[in-house]
Structure 1
Amino acid sequence: MNIFLALVLLFLMIIIGGERGAVSIMALAGNIIILFFSIILMAAGFPSLLLVLVAGAAVCYNSLFYQNGNNPKTRAAFFATLLVMLLLILPIYIITWRAGSYGLNELQISEDDFMYYYDTDISINMLHVAVFVCVFSTLGAVIDTALSVTSSVYEVWTHKKELTEKELIFSGYQVGKEIIGTTVNTLLFAYFGGSILLFSYVRIQQYNLEIILNSRFLFQDVAIMLSGAIACLITVPVSIRCIIWQIHHNKTEKNGRNS
């Protein structure tokens, strides 16, 4: 059934997206390969914190440049995404460490399969793995937000090159305000939609509110959702600054060639 759904997705991407859809499929395949090798390296003992930066940069490069080409918009979005990753990795590490929410949660540990059939001593730093999962889970939303902001500001500038830097910043924030609400809602409902069964189980077991609020299973999912929302909010001003820097850089190059 998974193969059938995947074939339907590929068929619709090609029929509706045309050539661009085919390129998106290739980019998606590339990202899956990057993630696959990241898991292999992580299992082999490669440092997860370094791996998240390398794999994250590879996914950003593949998603932005392969699908959209090398232009000021994609370069600015690429730099903005990397900066947001670097800004968030330390706070995510500290919060995850202080919360002690890494590793298997209470529901996973209680399953018979984990207790009797699987070896839980896998010699991997689960704190670093948790940081990898949290940062990587926010990457798609950050890339989408960054490219939306940089593309909009750049298009405004190409049609009105007389606009000042302050006016371009204002235009970027207007775009950010329009997209951030739908992005946060998407992250919120993606989490709740995937956790309905979990909440039903918790309700049937009649756990009290204190246990639920202090549980690992709740924190792990909510932390990813909130980290994604925070990352998208931070991405807006960072993307604006990056695209304005690219615009100034293009102006300098053109003036240098003309002179």
Structure 2
Amino acid sequence: MILFLTLVLLFLMITIGGERGAVSIMALAGNIIILFFSVILMSAGFPALLLILAAGAGVCYNSLFYQNGNNVKTRAAFLATLFVMLILFIPIFAITWRTGSYGLNELQISEEDFMYYYNTDISINMLHVAVFVSVFSTLGAVIDTALSVTSSVYEVWTHKNSLVEKELTSTGYQVGKEIIGTTVNTLLFAYLGGSILLFSYVQTQKYSLEIILNSRFLFQDVAIMLFGAIACLVAVPVSIKCIIWQIRYINPDKKQLNA
């Protein structure tokens, strides 16, 4: 059934998306390969924190430049995404470490089949793995937000290059306001929608509200959703600054942005 659904997805992407759909498939395959080797390297003991930087940059490069070409918009979005990931890396690491939300949660530990059939002594720093998961869970949404903002600001400037920096900044924030609501809702339903079965199980077990609110399994899902929303919000002003910098100094048409 997984193979069937995959074939349906590929068929629709090529049929509806045409050449761009085929390019998207190749980019998706490249990202899967990057994540596959990241898991192998992490299992072999390669520092997960270095993998976050290397694999994150690889996914950003593949998603932006391979699909959309090397231009002002993609370069600005690439820089903005990397900046956002670097800005949020320390808070994500600190919060994950401070809350102790890494590793198996209470429900996974309580499963007899899991503890009986699987060896939990895997010699991997679970804190680093949790940070890796949190960062990569936000990456796709940040890339989309950054590219949307940079593309919109750049297109506005190409049609009216007399605009000053303040006006372009205002345009960028207006675009950010339009897309951030749907982005946050997408993240909310993506993470909480996948946890409906978990919440149904918790409800049938009659856990108290105090236990649920202080549980690791709740924090792991909610924290990833909140990290993603915060990252997208931070991506808006960072993307605006990056695209304005690109327009002012690196634009191939050599047009200067008015002060």
Asked whether the two chains share a fold, i.e. TM above 0.5, the reply is yes
- Report the counterpart of residue 73 of structure 2 in structure 1: 73
- The one-letter amino acid of 1:87's match is I
The match for 2:247 is: 247
How many residues align? The count is 256
Match of 1:149 in 2: 149
Tell me the equivalent position of 1:230: 230
Question: Post-superposition shift, 1:95?
Answer: 0.3
Percent identity between matched residues is 82
Which residue number corresponds to residue 140 of structure 1? Answer: 140
Stretches of 4+ aligned residues off by more than 6 angstroms: none
CA contact (8 A) 1:114 1:120 kept: no
Q: Deviations over 1:223-245 (max 9, x none)?
A: 10000000000000000000000
**Which ranges of structure 1 fall in alignment gaps of 5 or more residues?**
none
| CA distance in 2 between partners of 1:234 and 1:164 (Å) | 23
Q: Contact 1:138–1:231 (CA<8 Å) still a contact in 2?
A: yes
Gaps of 5+ in 2: none
Q: Is the 8 A contact 1:80 1:239 kept in 2?
A: yes
Aligned-pair distance for 1:114?
A: 2.2
Shift of 1:113: 2.5
Rate the CA distance shift 1:186–1:251 in 2: closer, same or farther, 3 A.
Answer: closer
The CA deviation at 1:193 is: 1.1
Residue 29 of structure 2 corresponds to 29
Letter in 1 for 2:196: I
Per the normalisation by structure 1, the TM-score is 0.97
- For residue 255 of structure 1, report the CA deviation from its aligned partner: 6.7
In structure 2, what is the equivalent of residue 83 of structure 1?
Answer: 83
CA–CA separation in structure 2 for the residues paired with 1:54 and 1:206: 44
Structure 2 counterpart of 1:128: 128
Give CA-to-partner distance per residue, 1:186-221, whole Å, 9 cap, x none: 000111210110000000000000100111100000
> 3-state DSSP class of the match of 1:57?
helix
1:1-259 to 2 correspondences below 5 Å: 1-250=1-250, 254=254
**1:71 & 1:129 partners in 2: Cα distance?**
34
